[in-house]
Amino acid sequence: MTNLVKYNHISYLLYVLSIFTAGLLWIVPIIMNYARRREADNTWLATHFDWQIKTFWYSIIFVAAGIIIGLIGLGGLGIGVFSESSGMALGSVLLTIIGGGIFVFANFWHIYRIVRGWIALTDHRPVP
């Protein structure tokens, strides 16, 4: 069990480092979590594996949604500016802001989940 605690510390660390690598390290801890998840079955550590896996997938979904909505807004903004359509330009600006807001929210939510999980792991407690 001690090895799994250290293993989870490493995966939480890699999630934190992924923030500074534009998400390039995201794939390493998710593979780690899926690889050793079954070893923690019926222990408090199982909640940490599940917590990290859910954090990964929900973060991917929210980040992708934010980027897609933001890019649609930027594309429409270009069309609105060149066609001199102020209504389309305004709508595009709003879409870009909404997409950016979702992206920022996803990143803060990701950080919150990693910090909360890592604190619980350090205290040898399960996460909800």
Is the whole model's pTM more than 0.75, yes or no?
A: yes
Of the candidates 41, 75, 23, the residue with the CA atom closest to the CA atom of residue 49: 41
Q: Are 46 and 9 in contact (CB under 8 A)?
A: no
Q: What is the pLDDT of residue 84?
A: 65
- In this predicted model, which residue has the larger pLDDT, 120 or 25? 120
Q: What is the pLDDT of residue 77?
A: 63
CA gap 98, 65 in Å, rounded: 10
- Supply 47's token pair: 């909640």
Instruction: Name the least confident of 48-52, 68-72, 118-122.
Output: 68-72
- In this predicted model, which residue has the larger pLDDT, 77 or 127? 127
Question: For all residues of the chain together, what is the average pLDDT?
Answer: 89
User: Could you state, in order of their start, the residue ranges of all structural domains in the chain?
Assistant: 2-34+48-122
DSSP H helical ranges for the chain: 2-19, 27-36, 45-82, 86-122
pLDDT above 70 covers a percentage of the chain that reads 89
Q: What is the pLDDT of residue 90?
A: 75
pLDDT digit string, tens, across residues 53-105:
999 999 999 999 999 999 888 876 666 556 666 666 777 888 899 999 999 99
Q: What is the pLDDT of residue 58?
A: 95
What mean pLDDT is predicted for residues 21-46?
Answer: 92
